[in-house]
Structure 1
Amino acid sequence: MQTVIRLLNSKARWLVLTGAGVSAESGVPTYRNQRGEWQRKPPVTHQEFTGNHQARQRFWARNLVGWRFMSSARPNGAHSALASLEKAGAVSCLVTQNVDGLHQRAGSQKVIDLHGRVDSVSCLSCKLRLPRAPLQTWLEANNPDFAKLAGAIAPDGDADVDNLDHSSMQVPDCENCGGVLKPDAVFFGDSVPAQRVADAEQQMKDADGLVVVGSSLVAFSGYRFCLWASKQGKPIVIINDGKTRGDELATAKVAGLCGDVLQGWLQGNL
């Protein structure tokens, strides 16, 4: 850990990429285990959600249950350390694969939500955007049986309540045009918006190096940051409790709790 912290303190401005491991200490579970293997039921894909009413029923049943936890989750020491490192000038920008908004709640200002957020929803037809929280009252009032359920929480605000009949689930529609409402998150099977990718790539060009925190980098949307940094000849530091797709490109890697390593980095900047 000390070797990694010395490397981190040797560069002025790092781009930080975070994954589900950063929020794990807030009680939000990760998608994969330490070997990078998937460890939960498959989420509803973009294609299923947009093309199938039954898939939307399944999604909103899971989301109704999961939202209660996601809305009450609190930033942990890793989030707080990254916000402080930004204020100290050590972090030039933070790109997160997470959709929970905990970095902003911890005080980070320059954040690119690579995969979007689950705390707002948009109409796929008229593009009306609404906060997610008020929908909970409607969902619970119109689905009292589902509102009583509890399930294992997932990283994207879902809960694993799949072994149920979802055919009676009432799905919210757009209050403006009656269109399909979808959380402002990139679902599996969809692509990160091109402008968001371009903004993130520019931040990588402007930074002195890349720090990956709590991501297995299995998804290409995260792994490409390592490819960019490597091509630019910039150091790559990986902080993750388990193997990652980018290990062979890493300048240095340390396993352990994200918060502990980040707090150690922060101490060198105080």
Structure 2
Amino acid sequence: MLDRSEPGATMPPAVSRAVELLAGRRVTVLTGAGISTDSGIPDYRGPDSPPRAPMTYQQFVGDPDRRRHYWARNHVGWRHVHETRPNPGHLAVRRMEDLGGVNGVITQNVDTLHEVAGSRNVIDLHGRYDRVICLTCGRRISRDHLAERLDALNPGFADDVPDAEIAPDADAVIEATAHFRVADCEHCGGILKPEIVYFGENVPKARVEKAFAMLDDADGLLVAGSSLTVMSGLRFVRRAHKTDRPIVIVNRGSTRGDDLATVKIDRGCSPTLTTMAEALATRRTRPGSPATG
């Protein structure tokens, strides 16, 4: 079922099979870091990604030095994510939603780019980079507000850092953070944490149940840009397979869900999803199609 061809004048066979499969169906779209790489946000597990060791929840809450280092790096990295824009892959998903072929998006990304692209029904499975939560009192603030506080505590810090490697969770890899001052909760003095699900932390149960309900209301599942390495994404593929819903996976490289896929496409998300959206739009405008009667 693999198709490793690059975009060209002729639709690759696996893409054509996917279009045939999705035509006339409403699907849930599950996305991972691979859909955002064309916006300049690297992924953790792509074929060309360097080895990464993201901070765990236990490290963040249990070690003040690690927490300070994280916030210093995040103070640089979040600005990069804040400036990114949706790419053709995000826009293609939105277009399929506009055509009535997508009932919603479950994203493992924290970059909010589906929302920026105009998708209306998005579940941020792993949270969002632009919100911060107090682990003691539960109050939430915007990352913009925290940036103002961190700028006041660390004048010129972000401006003094040379070009830094950016990670998918809005982190940045930099050195010399020992002098960085961390901001605590303004209301209770508790630990502030990005409203992101860290490694070693569970996705909130209510959010998972909402995502399952979205999938159960769909006729199929389209996975885009996820290696499905972690169970938080793979469980939706397993659910779709168990309930006999067709599964299309678009991802460069293998995934843990390949054996369950109805169609697997080994290509980049931007060209593949754009081609699929255009083909589905063409079908809907043909005489006799459901869109035209």
Name the TM-score, length of structure 2 as normaliser: 0.87
Deviates more, 1:139-148 or 1:13-22: 139-148
What is the match of residue 255 of structure 2?
Answer: 244
Q: Deviations over 1:218-246 (max 9, x none)?
A: 01100111110110011110000111010
What is the match of residue 172 of structure 1?
Answer: 183
Aligned residue among 186, 197, 213 for 2:208: 197
The answer (yes or no) to whether the contact 1:235–1:250 under 8 Å persists in 2 is: yes
Q: Would you say how many aligned residue pairs link Structure 1 and Structure 2?
A: 265
Name the TM-score, length of structure 1 as normaliser: 0.94
Aligned residue among 34, 40, 43 for 1:27: 40
CA distance in 2, matches of 1:40, 1:153: 13
- Could you tell me how far 1:141 is from its partner in structure 2? 3.4
What is the match of residue 31 of structure 2?
Answer: 18
CA distance in 1, matches of 2:47, 2:18: 20
What is the match of residue 93 of structure 1?
Answer: 104
The answer (yes or no) to whether the contact 2:78–2:129 under 8 Å persists in 1 is: no
Matched AA of 1:168 = H
CA distance in 2, matches of 1:113, 1:160: 24
Matched, 1:106 2:117: yes
The answer (yes or no) to whether the contact 1:54–1:166 under 8 Å persists in 2 is: no
What is the match of residue 167 of structure 2?
Answer: 154
Secondary structure, aligned partner of 2:141: strand
Q: Deviations over 1:145-192 (max 9, x none)?
A: 64211310100100111xx34332101111111111111110111000
> CA RMSD, aligned part only?
1.5
Identity of aligned residues (%): 47
Matched, 1:41 2:55: no
Aligned residue among 73, 93, 101 for 1:82: 93
CA distance in 1, matches of 2:154, 2:52: 23
What is the match of residue 60 of structure 1?
Answer: 71
CA distance in 2, matches of 1:213, 1:232: 20
CA distance in 2, matches of 1:66, 1:177: 26
Secondary structure, aligned partner of 2:202: coil
The answer (yes or no) to whether the contact 1:8–1:265 under 8 Å persists in 2 is: no
CA distance in 1, matches of 2:267, 2:242: 27
Aligned residue among 21, 28, 44 for 1:7: 21
Unaligned runs of 5+ in 2: 1-14, 282-293
CA distance in 2, matches of 1:101, 1:112: 10
The answer (yes or no) to whether the contact 1:5–1:264 under 8 Å persists in 2 is: no
Counting only pairs closer than 5 Å after superposition, residues 258-269 of structure 1 correspond to structure 2 as 258-269=269-280
The answer (yes or no) to whether the contact 1:211–1:237 under 8 Å persists in 2 is: yes
Give the ranges of 4+ consecutive aligned residues of structure 1 lying more than 3 Å apart after TM superposition: none
